[in-house]
Amino acid sequence: MKRFFHWALFVTLGSWLLACTGAPLLASLAPRSVNVSAERLQQAIAQRFPIKQRLAEVIELEVLPPRLSLLATSNRLATDIDLNVADRLLGGNYSGSIALDFGLRFEPNDNTIRMTGARVNRVSLAGVPEPYQTAITRNAPRLAERLFDNRVLHQFSDKDLSLVNGLGLEPGEITVTPNGLRVSLVPRPLSRP
User: Across 139-143, 148-152, 155-159, which has the greatest mean pLDDT?
Assistant: 148-152
The pLDDT tens digits for 108-119 are: 899 888 999 999
- This prediction's pTM: 0.73
The pLDDT tens digits for 41-100 are: 888 888 888 989 887 788 888 989 999 999 999 999 999 999 898 888 878 898 999 999
Which CATH code of 3.40.50.2300, 3.15.10.40, 3.30.470.20, 1.10.10.920 fits the domain covering 32-187?
A: 3.15.10.40
Residue 61: its H or E element: strand 59-63
- Domain residue ranges in the chain: 1-30, 32-187
Contacts of 162 (CB under 8 A, 6+ apart): none
Of the chain, the percentage scoring pLDDT greater than 70 comes to 82
Q: What would the DSSP string read from start to end of 128-139?
A: --HHHHHHHHHH
